[in-house]
Structure 1
Amino acid sequence: MFVHVFPRQCLVCGVFDVLLVVTSFHFSMPSTKYACKCDYDAIESSNFQRFITAYTSMHTPPKEMQPIDNLVRKGLMNVEEGNEEYQFIKNGFLNGMGFMGHATNVMALYKNNVAFNLTRQARWDSFKIFYKAVAIKCGGDANVRYAWYGASLDELIEIVSFGFSGCNKNHDDDDECHGVGISLFSANCSIDSAMSTVADEHGLRHVLLCKVILGKVEAVPAGSKQSQPISKQYDTGVDDVSAPRRHIIWTAFMHSHIHPDYILSFKYNYMKDQQICGPLKPQSQYVSFPNLVAGVSNHLKPSQMSLLLKSYRIYKEQKTSREQWINKVRLIVGDRLLHSVITGSSHSVQLL
């Protein structure tokens, strides 16, 4: 918050006093305070309005701050970096990024302002009503969890403003989808949601952190076309009941069982040699897998990024050989892009 002091002459009585222009870091339009009794007339004055117009035109936020300004206008509140809430969500996100944690920088966090308008307040009230209903149905525990959803910033703003829709379908190929509905990823699996993000014009990526009413869950196999609970005792689906990574909220429940809470903005960065585990291989051009992900993320579709992550997990679980995995990476990424990323890297490190 900044206060700018300007001497001014009252446009009504001619008395000289001061004009205090109070500007917020997040808003382009300043609020004003006056010392003269003729304030109302001054505000109505066309001369004063011209002054404000000129002032705001000279204080347009820089390009890199425009996303913040836009999100605030859409009813989100910036959460300051030193805030405990910010640190808690940031740490949770980075922990869930796994091997990409050290190659990820959290840039900002925005909170959904449920009091922004009556519609948004109504959706929050509706979520609480369904929370109580599912809790009664399930013997007192509605099984509410946090879950991540990755997409473009425009899509996330649309969801915060109007809720999920049938357009927010899974980004995976058909054989990777677990039923027909809204797929979100567990709080400790933020890396999966990150694979579905799209970089904006500033190079930032964005994920949505939601409260989700899970109720009683059922396992839904990959490739399933299931679109509703198999019986009335179930509420939502998961890919694995014992260790859920993906939550499936059926389309019928997408407005009642999901509440968007935060938008987190992040970007990938290339890791330095000392941050990369594994032996160096001199006189050869290689790249670490985190750097590969960062390098190809702007060129591959979300479905391809998900396949790339899946191939890495299969390899790390020793379910495939290194040669088979590298061939799979080449198939997903393409030799031309892979060569471009490797030769464009400033590091010469083995692909882990």
Structure 2
Amino acid sequence: MRRPLVSKNLTNPSEIEKANSTHSELDSTTHDQDPSSMSDCESSVSGPCNDPPPSFYDGLIRLQEGDRVFNLIRRRLVMGLGLGLVCGTQAEIVAIHRNPFRGVMGQARTQSFQIFEKAIANKCGGNSNLKFAWYAGSKQELCKIVEQGFGKSIDNGLYGRGVYFSPDDSAMECLKDSVVDEDGMRHLLLCRLILGKTEVVHPGSDQCHPSSEEFDSGVDNLTMPKKYIVWCTNMNTHILPEYIISFKAPSALNGFARVWDSSIRPTSPWMPFPTLISVLSKFLPPTTIALISKYYKDHKEKKIPRPELIQRVRQIAGDKLLISAIKSYRTRK
């Protein structure tokens, strides 16, 4: 018997048993478990949707509306979009397709993933730190990944050279990078990741592999990560692409991204950017401050608009630190 793939943040044995009993396809020899124990919150995604299912390559298996696994994934997506937000309450799930890992190469990929999961678990004292995570891309890109694996990394990305994912409860983070296809649909890839021991990667990093043998992957924050970074050296051993979720959003992404942003945007008196950079330099590493300074320089040279500058600084520094800096500035004033 192969040791089942168990996600530390999503898997619940009782949910697995229930889901597998109602979905025989998940009993295949190449797919032991489903992404279970996802929240039992009420789903806010409208459905069923009458749109025809997207056409993917023949190897994928479409889950049926009402299937337990379908509902679990749908609920998790809604949580990641934010319950009560426009984008969460009006998104329409068109289809969920499962990767069955058929054929010699499909089985080889699952076996390789299991071998590395076991190795990382042994290295990390029994915990391989398995997580579910979202990856956004075009329909063509996601199909290619499912069929052949990851073939490219993100060069010169905010957190170095690797493949970036959003945690299963933060779908909005990667949804902003999704692409609308010719049918007006967006597609997300739900993957299993072997994270092992994570290390913080600061914005502006040019890192492309773990900083030492102690670490296995990167995150933007150790306590509440919004980004998982799987280095390009591990992208086809530490990632298992399992489901493609196709849905329609209520508006263009920029539209409902603004709805999400406005709900957490800090309000404050005006603060000069040079002063802000000076304050942030006391808390952030030099490479991060250099990146913020570069964006500020780009803004002064009219290469990027002020809203984009603000959004990038918020992404890099985080609202908590920015609010603290602004309050400190106002107190001194």
TM-score normalised by L of structure 2: 0.62
Q: Which residue of 2 aligns with 1:89?
A: 73
Q: From the superposition, tell whether residues 295 and 210 of structure 1 become closer, same or farther in structure 2 (CA, over 3 Å).
A: closer
Three-state SS of the structure 2 residue aligned to 1:71 is coil
Instruction: Work out which of the two has the higher radius of gyration on C-alpha atoms and give 1 or 2.
Output: 1
TM-score normalised by L of structure 1: 0.59
Q: Which residue of 1 aligns with 2:99?
A: 112
Three-state SS of the structure 1 residue aligned to 2:160 is coil
Q: Which residue of 2 aligns with 1:197?
A: 178
1:248-303 per-residue CA deviation (whole Å, 9 max, x = no partner) reads 00010001000000000111125xxxxxxxxxxxxxxxxxxxxxx54658xxxxxx
Q: Is 1:244 matched with 2:228?
A: no
Q: Is the 8 A contact 1:72 1:78 kept in 2?
A: no
Q: From the superposition, tell whether residues 182 and 90 of structure 1 become closer, same or farther in structure 2 (CA, over 3 Å).
A: same
**Alpha-carbon distance between aligned partners in 2 of 1:210 and 1:321, rounded to the nearest angstrom:** 42
Q: Is 1:79 matched with 2:63?
A: yes
* Structure number having the greater strand percentage: 1
Q: Which residue of 1 aligns with 2:89?
A: 102
1:123-169 per-residue CA deviation (whole Å, 9 max, x = no partner) reads 11100110000000000010000000001000000000110122x42
Q: CA deviation at 1:192?
A: 1.4
Q: Which residue of 1 aligns with 2:120?
A: 134
Structure 1 stretches of 4+ with a deviation exceeding 4 A read 293-297, 319-322, 327-333
**Alpha-carbon distance between aligned partners in 2 of 1:224 and 1:309, rounded to the nearest angstrom:** 30
**Alpha-carbon distance between aligned partners in 2 of 1:332 and 1:201, rounded to the nearest angstrom:** 32
Identity value in percent: 34
**Alpha-carbon distance between aligned partners in 2 of 1:202 and 1:87, rounded to the nearest angstrom:** 23
Three-state SS of the structure 1 residue aligned to 2:191 is strand
Q: CA deviation at 1:180?
A: 1.0
Aligned length: 227
Three-state SS of the structure 2 residue aligned to 1:149 is strand
**Alpha-carbon distance between aligned partners in 2 of 1:96 and 1:228, rounded to the nearest angstrom:** 28
Q: CA deviation at 1:103?
A: 3.4
1:200-255 per-residue CA deviation (whole Å, 9 max, x = no partner) reads 11111000000000000000001111111111010000000010110000010001
Q: From the superposition, tell whether residues 169 and 65 of structure 1 become closer, same or farther in structure 2 (CA, over 3 Å).
A: same
Q: Is the 8 A contact 1:112 1:260 kept in 2?
A: yes
Q: Is 1:225 matched with 2:206?
A: yes
Q: Which residue of 2 aligns with 1:287?
A: none
Unaligned runs of 5+ in 1: 1-63, 271-292, 298-304, 334-352
**Structure 1 letter corresponding to 2:264:** K
**Alpha-carbon distance between aligned partners in 1 of 2:162 and 2:171, rounded to the nearest angstrom:** 19
CA-based RMSD of the aligned residues comes to 3.0
Q: From the superposition, tell whether residues 156 and 240 of structure 1 become closer, same or farther in structure 2 (CA, over 3 Å).
A: same
Q: CA deviation at 1:71?
A: 2.0
Three-state SS of the structure 2 residue aligned to 1:206 is strand
